[in-house]
Structure 1
């Protein structure tokens, strides 16, 4: 009988130790998952930050290129103003955009008025939007 009680005590002790180890393992697993989630969020934030830097640099390069183009065109073609050159650039970009949309097999159909008056209106809308944005 004494041997049986001793075995039962050892069995309960073993069960309690196993339960304690399982609780500790669950706590450590939850902590590891928390760390992984934090690291994923930090990585996502860093990725978005770097993407923002890339976009900012791209826009700066576009602005620099436009400025150089406007200056070069104005110098080489007497009587043209920066506005004339920008209007021409906007029209060129408009047609480049239409070409890209048409060239992509995965794009939806986009119908845009493309007569001279419509292009002038689009350019005016872009300029008006830029003026309004600069006032804010």
Structure 2
């Protein structure tokens, strides 16, 4: 996933939880649990839009790699494929706040009482309820 499109680690964790739950219930919208994770991050129900916004491409300079039930061998495989430096989540490049505000429709008055990450997290949590 494009690291600049992820508001916080909690957002990734919530999307992963929702993806795993959908997989367990047989209610996935996508074909694989990893693509379901990307879909769960999206504020809309458009799969292609989710991949365009949150997925990495050849121009992505910072990636977040997520793997369910990963082991050391999986980590080594990722390191061999991805060219770059492995850094902690908190050391990733700055988040594209303007894009996140637009995608999730976060208004400035909302940010007076909470953070952008909180606003995004709440939208991810309630997307399927509304």
Please confirm whether the aligned pair reaches a TM-score higher than 0.5, indicating the same fold. no
Greater CA radius of gyration, 1 or 2? Answer: 1
Q: Comparing both structures, which one devotes a greater share of its residues to helix?
A: 1
State the structure with bigger RCO (CA 8 A, min sep 6), 1 or 2: 2
Q: TM-score, normalised by structure 1?
A: 0.28
Q: TM-score, normalised by structure 2?
A: 0.29
